[in-house]
Amino acid sequence: MLIHDDEIRNQKVKRIQKVCRKETTMNFLGSQNEEDKKRKTISMRRRKEKIPRTSEKFSVKSYSATHTNVEDM
């Protein structure tokens, strides 16, 4: 009798674990898809406005450099 109860409990636990795994993988895939969408929209914007990637990075760096110099003085 006790052995039978343990088997049933183990089966229930396994079912719950399967469901939890599915949910976590779905959530993970969902978050990845969101990131991909953001990247795609950014790249599409770059294509439309024809902005090279290096100029954006350079402008941010030059601004931060001038900003820190002003604060030091």
Q: Which two tokens stand for residue 32?
A: 């990845």
Stretch 17-32: mean pLDDT, rounded? 66
Distance between CA atoms of residues 52 and 20, nearest Å: 43
Q: Which two tokens stand for residue 9?
A: 């409990």
Distance between CA atoms of residues 68 and 46, nearest Å: 29
Quick one: pLDDT band at residue 13, thresholds 50, 70, 90?
confident
The three-class DSSP label of residue 73 is coil
Domains of the chain, residue spans: 16-72
pLDDT per position as a tens digit, 42-68: 666 666 666 555 544 555 555 555 555
Model confidence, pTM = 0.27
> Which stretches does DSSP call E strand in the chain?
none
Cβ-based neighbour number of residue 43 at 10 Å = 11
Distance between CA atoms of residues 65 and 13, nearest Å: 57
